[in-house]
């Protein structure tokens, strides 16, 4: 019996017990679909997180102040202190001090209530300079951004995020209108284009004011020159490491710190955040894929069970074929072919189900699902392998039946 005859006979045997074969295939089908969906969801989540983090700029460095200590001696975490100043930002913007730095934007941020037309909305009010727009890779949808003259005169002007404008006015067409921030009237000179969210905040829910205005009129504090964050834009992705070293060196010198381990500031990069998030989701993907893989094991056991039943039901057929001269390897090959067909069918149907779900579900769950060709191919291969591995014992058992015993069985 050649391979064509073997496959034809095996396919006929599978079709002769359609319902039983379908139930066997179902276990493998669900397992394959689950694996493809799990891998796709993991890759999609990594993609979403990477895009959200990278929306701040792939060549961006974020400098945060050190910790604070209250009157009772309790220390806060990094970012709670007032160790960074506008002078630090100015020093970093110097091409002499940091030649690999293309732009610097200091921020002084707090949460305040905004009012307009009897509507109030609490949002993040950020004082910054005109370089913020370029450094943070943001764009305007209307109007203009704050200028150097606004900064010098501590002008009462603001640029709203698209969501903030919508919450206050019901529209983003608000340039020229006024809004009250902490009891002071500000003219709206621009509206930011939508940017979504990053790893920690809604980028569209924000009000931008000049840094001097924030320091002198809104936020104040014991040190009006202090800033909450300094964003540093490297000249290019390849110069990010050099810019990091320059920023660290300049700030250590300005703060008279000789040991970098004792620095009163921290520097983080977008790449580091992306790498950390990717590592976490890769681990979760592996764990979830392992759990989904258990269903493949269950499917394989189902294949073995059905093949053993098939061997038992066809004992007389096996005996007759062996009596007519069929060698053991021919019997073994036929049953292995049947098991492989079950595995292949389950793999293909499972792959189609997984791909279909990956195309439909993102609109339902609001998260991307990336279809991995490698995962699809490997899954189908694993399905066939499962059919063969779990079909070896039943096939071997069939091949070892003695013709006389097989013919005698009822």
Instruction: Tell me the pLDDT tens digit for each residue of 68-88.
Output: 444 444 444 444 567 888 899
pLDDT of residue 70: 45
Rounded Cα distance between 291 and 77, Å, is 37
Q: How far is CA 307 from the centre of its chain?
A: 42
pLDDT of residue 383: 83
Rounded Cα distance between 379 and 371, Å, is 12
pLDDT of residue 175: 93
For the CA atoms of 278, 279, 280, 286, what is the dihedral angle to 10 degrees? 100
Break the chain down into helix, strand, coil percent, rounded to 5. 55, 20, 25
Domain coordinates in residue numbering, the chain: 3-52+275-408, 101-233
Q: How far is CA 98 from the centre of its chain?
A: 33
pLDDT of residue 197: 63
The Cα-based distances of 356 to 361, 370, 381 in angstroms read: 9, 12, 19
pLDDT of residue 337: 83
Rounded Cα distance between 166 and 191, Å, is 10
pLDDT of residue 132: 92
Rounded Cα distance between 100 and 293, Å, is 48
What are the tens digits of pLDDT across the range 111-163? Answer: 899 999 888 999 999 999 999 998 888 899 999 999 999 999 999 999 999 99
Q: Which residues of the chain have pLDDT under 50?
A: 68-79
End-to-end CA separation in angstroms for the chain: 26
pLDDT of residue 55: 58
**pTM higher than 0.75:** no
């Amino acid at each position: 019996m050649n391979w064509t005859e073997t496959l034809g006979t095996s396919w006929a045997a599978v079709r002769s017990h359609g319902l039983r074969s379908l139930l066997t295939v179902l276990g493998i089908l669900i397992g394959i679909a689950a694996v493809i969906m799990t891998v796709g969801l993991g890759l999609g989540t990594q993609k979403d997180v990477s895009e959200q983090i990278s929306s701040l700029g792939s060549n961006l460095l974020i400098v945060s102040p050190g910790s604070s200590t209250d009157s009772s001696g309790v220390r806060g975490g990094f970012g709670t202190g007032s160790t960074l100043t506008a002078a630090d930002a100015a020093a970093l913007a110097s091409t002499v001090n940091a030649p690999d730095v293309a732009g610097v934007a200091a921020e002084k941020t707090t949460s305040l209530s905004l009012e307009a037309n009897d509507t109030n909305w609490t949002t993040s009010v950020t004082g910054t300079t005109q370089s913020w727009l370029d450094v943070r890779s943001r764009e305007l949808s209307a109007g203009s951004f704050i200028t150097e003259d606004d900064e010098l005169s501590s002008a009462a002007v603001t640029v709203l995020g698209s969501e903030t404008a919508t919450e206050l006015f019901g529209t983003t067409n608000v340039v020229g209108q006024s809004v009250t921030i902490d009891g002071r009237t500000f003219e709206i000179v621009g509206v930011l284009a939508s940017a979504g969210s990053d790893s920690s905040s809604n980028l569209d829910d924000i009000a931008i004011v000049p840094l001097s205005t924030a320091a002198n009129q809104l936020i104040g504090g014991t040190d009006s020159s202090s800033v909450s964050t300094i964003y540093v834009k490297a000249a290019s992705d390849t110069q990010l490491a050099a810019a990091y070293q320059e920023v660290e060196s300049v700030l250590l010198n300005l703060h008279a710190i000789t040991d970098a381990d004792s620095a009163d500031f921290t520097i983080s990069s977008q790449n580091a955040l992306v790498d950390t998030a990717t590592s976490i989701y890769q681990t979760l993907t592996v764990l979830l894929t392992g759990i989904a893989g258990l269903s493949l094991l269950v499917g394989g056991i189902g294949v073995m069970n059905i093949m053993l039943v098939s061997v038992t039901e066809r004992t007389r057929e096996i005996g007759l074929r062996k009596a007519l001269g069929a060698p053991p390897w021919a019997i073994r090959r036929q049953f292995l072919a049947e098991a492989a067909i079950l595995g292949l069918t389950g793999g293909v149907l499972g792959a189609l189900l997984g791909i279909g779900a990956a195309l439909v579900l993102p609109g339902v769950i609001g998260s991307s699902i990336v279809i991995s060709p490698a995962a699809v191919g490997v899954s189908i291969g694993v399905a066939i392998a499962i059919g063969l591995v779990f079909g070896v014992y039943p096939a071997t058992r069939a091949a070892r039946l003695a013709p006389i015993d097989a013919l005698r069985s009822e």
